[in-house]
Every structure is written in structure tokens, then in C-alpha cells.
Amino acid sequence: MTQEHTALTVALEQLKIAAEKLQLDPGIHAICNIGVFNGYRVQHWDVMGPFKGGLRYHPNVTLDEITALAMWMTWKCAVIGLPYGGAKGGIACNPKTMSKGELERLTRRYVSLIFEYLGPHRDVPAPDVYTDAQTMAWIMDTYSQLKGYSVPESVTGKPIEIGGSEGRVCATSLGVAFCAREAAKILNLKLKNATVAVQGYGNVGYNAASIMHNMGCKIIAVSDSTGGIYCSNGINPHDVRVHKTKTGSVINHKDCANITNEELLQTECDILIPAALENQIRKDNADKIKAKIVAEGANGPTTPEADKALYEKDVCLIPDILANSGGVTVSYFEWVQNLTREHWTLEEVNRKLETKIIKAFNDVQKLSKKEESDMRTAALMLGVGRVAHALKTLGLWP
Ligand code: GLU
């Protein structure tokens, strides 16, 4: 039997009836008509430095998911060598159906409720799924208003004009591209005309497609939450972006065949970039992955069973905590610039990012060879090992 009502739908329906009888002012009715959203901030470990991690808005956000994402941030920061611990935030909401004003009020309310747990030396949020530079500007303003003075270093991924860093928007994707390029070198795979499939067309997916396109690769398939498109002659990522802005989705693009997200993952290609959500490559479809390189732009797209299957198939998988660490790395650069009141050029930011990512890539690669393991195990050994070592050195007190 389907449930007709929840307690909240009953209360809202009752309010509507009373408001009509009272001929209540619509503005007053709207204020009584409070929407309830569940929001979370999980702080995992701060032995390496202040907590750091994004804030996501998505209907399926749960405490379980945010906890996993917070833990991955701890290992990620340790693998790339940033002085941060791991955290993550999330609000279960559907930003696609919300107005800009509603998103602003939701963001400011969330920050005001967890204000005492935030701060440049305590916990520094950043963008994640369906949050962006505008969301970060509201976070900075709310935090600063409550403090009584401007604190740009309280959040990263801000617009450049209020203290954001050059290169932050593309940083995650640029890191993914650097990793894919290094992996291609090892496999003797030429990037020129290498075929690429990208799952997800948000900030990370779109920019990854765009950067790989500029590196000479052929983007043959892309997707978003509504489905995907395929074209063996190659897709221009910018044109698809224009099409998505116009129509709300990547599908039905000229000269392309519509495909499902499942078909996208199984596309015959050199490089596959999952840049959407968790649990995409699983036991049931891992055997059907035909890519030579998988570079994880998303967090947690592959399950442990799928990891094993891909390793046995000799697929070179660059794990999330390495492949997508470019975002938090440039977040760190932004925080350093804010603390020192400096502004670096795009060239400087990208040069520093490249140096850090390549060093981490080589560290992980070397360890995976030594341990005869996949790169995820090696990356985790590095990250968890560094945190455990710091924990032991600090000791437990009180
Ligand atoms: N949300 C991004 C991630 O998962 C960036 C976090 C940050 O910049 O703090 O890595």
C-alpha cells in the first residue's frame, strides 16, 4: 500500500486550508510554510591540519555518504601532502528545483547553524556536487558577518573578485588530465587522437573533456544525469556545453547517438573519466569496461569488487584520492594566498599544481610496483600510513 501522506504533507495541507480561509498574505503564508532540509558536516581526522572538504547539494545526500566522503578527504590530503584533515558537508535538497534566493537562504542558514565548527584554522568548506563559487561567496559572507570582519580564508573556491584563486574552477579536471597523461606515458599510449569517454557534465566532467580535447584527445562520449551521447568522429565539449545550457541536458546533440550512462561506461575507448557520483563501476559491469585507463574525477565511483576485476583485466585505474586531488590542492593554494594576502598568477598556480600532482602520481606508482598492487591500494597505503604516523607522533591526549 502506498502511503498517501507524511506528517509534514498533512501539516502543510492544513496550513493551506487555514491560510485560504484567513485570506493570509501570500508572503506570510510562505514564511509559515517552512521547508525542512537535512544538512550534515562530518569531520573525520584533523591530525594533519584543519578539516577540509567540499559541500554538496543533492537529493540523495545521507550521513553515510558524507561520512565516506569525509574519510576520503583525509586520505586525499595526505596523499598529495597538504596540511589538512578531511571533512565533508551535504544538504539533502534538489537544487534544480530551487530558486537562487532559496539556495542563498539554505546556504546561509546551514552556515549559521554550524558556524562554531567552521573557521580558517578549524574547518574550511569548498565546492562539490551542485555547489559553486556563488555558494562559497554566501558562505564567506555569512561567516564574516557573524565574526564581525571579513574572513576570506574561511572558505575556498570563491569567486576571484573576493579572494578566490586563479585556476580553482578547472583545478580538479586539470589534475585528472595530468594523471591521465602520466598513465598514458607508462602505457605508451599517444594522447593525440586517444579516445575519451566522460561520465558527468558538471564542473569536473565538462572541464576534463575540454582540457583533454585541448591536449589532442578525441572525446567520443559524454553524459549527464539524463543520459549520454556518442560520436565516433569526436565531440566538441564547448558545443555540448552550449547545448546543455540551452536544453538542460547533453542528449539529443546534433550528429551524436543518444546512449545510456551504462553504455557510456562500457564505451570502447582509451581513457574513461567517471566524473559523476559514487558506485558507478561495480561487480556487475566491471567486466564490460573496455577503457585502458580509468581516471576517477568523481569520489568513490568504483567498488572494491570492481577494483579487483579491473586490476585483473590490466586496466590502469588512477584512484579518486590521487586523480581528483587537484581541486583541494588549488583550494590549499587559495587558502595560503588569503592568509598571506597575496594573489598568484594562473601560470604560477598551474605550475605548482602540476609539480604536486606529478610527485604524488610517481609516489603512488612506485609503491604500487613495489607492493605489486593496484594504484588504489598504493594510494591508500600512502595516505593512511602518513595519517597513522602523525597520529602516533602526536599521541593521544587527554
Ligand atoms: N569537493 C572537492 C573534493 O572532493 C574539493 C574539496 C576542497 O577543495 O576542499 O576533493
Instruction: State pLDDT tens for residues 353-381.
Output: 999 999 999 999 999 999 999 999 999 99
Domain presence at residue 288 = yes
Domain presence at residue 224 = yes
Task: Please report the pLDDT score of residue 54 as a whole number.
Answer: 98
Instruction: Assess whether pLDDT exceeds 70 at residue 56.
Output: yes
Task: Please report the pLDDT score of residue 5 as a whole number.
Answer: 86
Task: Please report the pLDDT score of residue 1 as a whole number.
Answer: 45
Say which residues have a Cβ less than 8 Å from residue 236's Cβ, sequence separation at least 6.
213, 219
Q: Do 197 and 224 lie in a common domain?
A: yes
Determine whether the shortest distance from the Cβ of 135 to ligand 1 is under 6 A.
Answer: no
Domain presence at residue 351 = no
Q: Do 26 and 47 lie in a common domain?
A: no
Residues recognised as catalytic: 88
Side by side, which strands form the sheet with 271-274?
A: 257-259, 227-230, 218-224, 195-199, 271-274, 293-295, 316-318
Q: Do 145 and 275 lie in a common domain?
A: no
Q: Do 127 and 192 lie in a common domain?
A: no
Task: Please report the pLDDT score of residue 30 as a whole number.
Answer: 74
Residues 375-393 have a mean pLDDT of: 97
Domain presence at residue 329 = no
Residues 159-187 have a mean pLDDT of: 98
Residues 236-261 have a mean pLDDT of: 97
Task: Please report the pLDDT score of residue 28 as a whole number.
Answer: 80
Residue keyed to cell 542558514: 109
Look at the chain and report how many structural domains it folds into.
3
Q: Ligand 1 pocket check: which of 139, 172, 296 to mutate, most ligand atoms within 8 Å of Cβ?
A: 172
Determine whether the shortest distance from the Cβ of 300 to ligand 1 is under 6 A.
Answer: no
Which atom number of ligand 1 is nearest to the Cα of residue 84? 9
Instruction: Assess whether pLDDT exceeds 50 at residue 276.
Output: yes
- Domain holding 318, by residue range, is 171-323
Query: Which segments of 148-230 does DSSP mark as H helices, in order?
Result: 168-186, 203-214
Q: Ligand 1 pocket check: which of 328, 332, 336 to mutate, most ligand atoms within 8 Å of Cβ?
A: 328
Q: How confident is the model at residue 3 (pLDDT cuts 50, 70, 90)?
A: low
Specify the 3-state DSSP secondary structure of 216.
Answer: coil
Determine whether the shortest distance from the Cβ of 53 to ligand 1 is under 6 A.
Answer: yes
Instruction: Assess whether pLDDT exceeds 80 at residue 38.
Output: yes
Determine whether the shortest distance from the Cβ of 126 to ligand 1 is under 6 A.
Answer: yes
pLDDT, tens digit, 9 for 90 and up, residues 58-71: 999 999 999 999 99
Domain presence at residue 10 = yes
In whole angstroms, what is the distance from residue 93 CA to residue 218 CA?
36
Q: Do 18 and 114 lie in a common domain?
A: no
Among the candidates 276, 307, 323, a domain finishes at 323
- Quote the ligand 1 centre to 78 CA distance (angstroms): 13
The least confident of 13-27, 266-280, 349-363 is 13-27
Determine whether the shortest distance from the Cβ of 173 to ligand 1 is under 6 A.
Answer: no
Q: Do 25 and 86 lie in a common domain?
A: no
